Structure formats: structure tokens, C-alpha cells
Amino acid sequence: MTRREGSAFTGMRVVFFKELADLLSGSRMRFLEALVVLTALGTAYAAIQNIKNTVGEDPFLFLRLFTTAKDPLPSFVAFLGFLVPLLAIALGFDAVNGEFQRRTLGRILSQPIYRDVLLFGKFLAGLTTLAMVLTATWLFVTGLGILLTGLAPSGEEVARSLIYLVAAVAYGGVWLALSMLFSTLFKNPATSALATIAVWLFFTVFWGMIAGLLAPALSPVRYGFPDEVLRQAQVELALSRISPTTLYAEATLAILRPEVRALGPVLPLQLQGMVLGTPLPLSQSLLLIWPQFSGLIAASVILFVLAYVIFQRQEIRA
């Protein structure tokens, strides 16, 4: 076992700020910002048109700003469901192979830093950039909502929308980690970008269908008993939760719609004693999304560790 000397994070700060500056000043950032602002503007405006009629009836009117869709525009959260992965992929797809291509890696790694510091500094810089863009978007939508509806959000609404923001960043973290993993795996940035987008498409578009097909095979309904049907539904749900997209959608749903009491199939027994339609307190909603949230974080960690292991064994010469 080789023991490491010195601080494990020597140079971490330096790498982080350099990478952050690179990302923020790069031209891809201009493009992403424009995309996000347009999205925020479009969806918030459409949502406001829709919810203006219901003012006064809804205690969580402000949160509807994020979740209301108006044809042909999807809701803000649905839009971000697409944009966050795209952003994350754009921020990470050339993290490592870009260094190989510029031939900077040998020079940088001969400075007194560990390889993982370089990787982790890049990841943190990507995540911070993502968080900054999303926070700006959130402020933009919130401000727009206050201006156009003339309503101030309640404390709980602000808290819930901020938690949503954190979940969106965590969701982005998964795709950032995946794009960085592919950027260590593939020597060509175009390949790594395409590979990440392919995985994203797979989980967003196809995984739901596959889970729907797999569940009956894994847990068939033979005699039509209710528990068989329930088990099949549970299997399908468990399968679909492999996809980070599902986790994000569930977390979003539960935190932004306080009336959601459970995620997945609900038994009549569980509904006993509940008044349907009454909103859950914030702490209960939080508890509800906790597994989804941890799942997103765990996925990022696993992907990052994989990238780290591969990067650690990689030859310096491309």
C-alpha cells in the first residue's frame, strides 16, 4: 500500500478556480446562457398566462410557475429536465481528453498535484458553473413571477423551489460525472460527447419502455391476484428508478407539488386517515424525496469514482 504524503488537496483550489474561469469565459457558456434565459422566459410567461385565472384558489400558486405547462410549451421543470443534462454534458465532455489533445496533461501532472485533484477540481468547477447558471435562472423566473403576478411567494414556497434547485444541480451532477467518465474513456471529445448524449437519450426515451417490457417478464401476473399486480408495478417502478431521469422527475414532483403524498403505487390501506388533496408539510415532502435525492448523489459518486480509477491508470501519452 502506498501512503500519500502532503495534503491530498494540494492545488485543488488552484485547479478549481482556473477551470471555473475557463468554463465561465468560454464561448460555450454564452450559448448555454442564452438557451437557459430563453427557456425561462418562455415557460414562465406561458405559465403565468395559465395560472392568472386561478389566483386566489391555490395556496401554492407560486410553485405552479415551475410546473404548469401551456401548449405547446412544456413546464419549466420539464424544460430543465432536458436542459440540465445538456448543460452538464456541455461542461464536462472534453474535461480529460481535451487535456490530452492540447498536450497539457504531462506538463500539468509534473507539477506537484495528484491526478485526482485535477479530476475533482474539474468536476467541482463544472458543478459550480451549473449551479450558478441554474440559480440565475431560478432568480430570473422567481423575479418574473413576482413582477407579472404581483404576488410574493411564501416562505415555504421559496424553500421548496430552492430545494428543487438543489435537486436539479444534483441531477446535473450525474450527467457531469458521466460526461467526465466518457471524456477519460474516449480520446476524442466528439466521441465522448456523443456517447454521453446517447446514454442520456437511452434513459430519457427508451428506459421507461424497457422497464415496462421487463417488469411483466420478471414478475408475471399469473392469476390476476391484486398482490401480483402490485408486485409487477413495484418491479416496474424499481426498474425505472435506475434512470436518473426518473429520480429527478419524482423528486421534482414531490417537492413542487405539496399535495403529492407518495411516489409510486399507493395502497388503499395507506390512504386511510388521509384527507386527499391536503398538502404535505415541507418536512414530509423532504422525507419523501430523500431516497431520490440520495440516489442522484450516489450515482454521481459512483460515476466519478469510475472516472477516477480509469484516469489513475491511464498512460500520460495519448
Partner 1 sequence: MMTAIHTEHLTKRYGSVVAVRDLNLVVEEGEVFGILGPNGSGKTTTILMLLGLTEPSEGRVSVLGRDPVREPLAIKRRVGYLPDTVGFYEDLTGRENLRYTAALNGLPPRQREAKIEELLATMGLTDAADRPVRTYSRGMKQRLGLADVLLKEPELVILDEPTLGLDPQAAHEFLSMIRQLKGQGMTVILSSHLLHQVQAICDRVGLFKKGEMALVGSVQELAQRVLGGAYRIRLRVIGNIPTERLQKLPGVSRVHRSGEVVTVEAERDLRPELVRAIVEADGDLLEVGLEETTLDEVYRTYYGEVSDDAA
Ligand X SMILES: Nc1ncnc2c1ncn2[C@@H]1O[C@H](COP(=O)(O)OP(=O)(O)OP(=O)(O)O)[C@@H](O)[C@H]1O
- 317 near ligand X, rule: CB under 6 A: yes
Joined together, the cell numbers standing for residue 20 give: 471555473
- 3 near ligand X, rule: CB under 6 A: no
Q: Compose the 41-80 pattern: x for residues touching ligand X by CB under 6 A, - for all others.
A: ----------------------------------------
Q: Are 165 and 135 in contact (CB under 8 A)?
A: yes
- Using CA atoms, how far residue 165 sits from 71, 255, 290, in Å, is 24, 10, 14
- 313 near ligand X, rule: CB under 6 A: no
- 315 near ligand X, rule: CB under 6 A: yes
Query: How many residues are recorded in the chain?
Result: 318
How many other CB atoms sit within 10 Å of the CB of residue 38? 11
| CA nearest neighbour of 118 among 194, 65, 184 | 184
SS3 of residue 55 by DSSP: coil
* Residue in 59, 103, 152, 267 binding partner 1, rule: CB under 8 A: 103
- 9 near partner 1, rule: CB under 8 A: no
State in angstroms the smallest separation of the CB of 106 from partner 1.
4
State in angstroms the smallest separation of the CB of 66 from ligand X.
50
State in angstroms the smallest separation of the CB of 316 from ligand X.
9
The span from the CA of 149 to the CA of 49, in Å, is 9
- 273 near partner 1, rule: CB under 8 A: no
**Closer residue to partner 1 in complex, CB, 152/316:** 316
State in angstroms the smallest separation of the CB of 100 from ligand X.
12
- 20 near partner 1, rule: CB under 8 A: no
- 284 near partner 1, rule: CB under 8 A: no
**Closer residue to partner 1 in complex, CB, 114/164:** 114
Look-up of cell digits 398566462: 49
**Closer residue to ligand X in complex, CB, 227/315:** 315
The span from the CA of 246 to the CA of 291, in Å, is 12
SS3 of residue 10 by DSSP: coil
Sign of CA dihedral 251, 257, 262, 266: negative
What phi, psi does 317 have (nearest 5°)? -85, 125
DSSP 114-148: -HHHHHHHHHHHHHHHHHHHHHHHHHHHHHHHHHH
Instruction: Pick what 103 binds: partner 1, ligand X, none; C-beta below 5 to 8 Å, kind-dependent.
Output: partner 1
Look-up of cell digits 423575479: 143
State in angstroms the smallest separation of the CB of 106 from ligand X.
12
Q: Are 193 and 179 in contact (CB under 8 A)?
A: yes
State in angstroms the smallest separation of the CB of 136 from partner 1.
23
Compute CA 161 distance to the chain's CA centroid, rounded to the nearest angstrom.
14
- 212 near partner 1, rule: CB under 8 A: no
List interacting residues with ligand X (CB under 6 A): 315, 317
List interacting residues with partner 1 (CB under 8 A): 2-3, 5-6, 10-11, 14-15, 18, 22, 25-26, 102-104, 106-114, 315-317
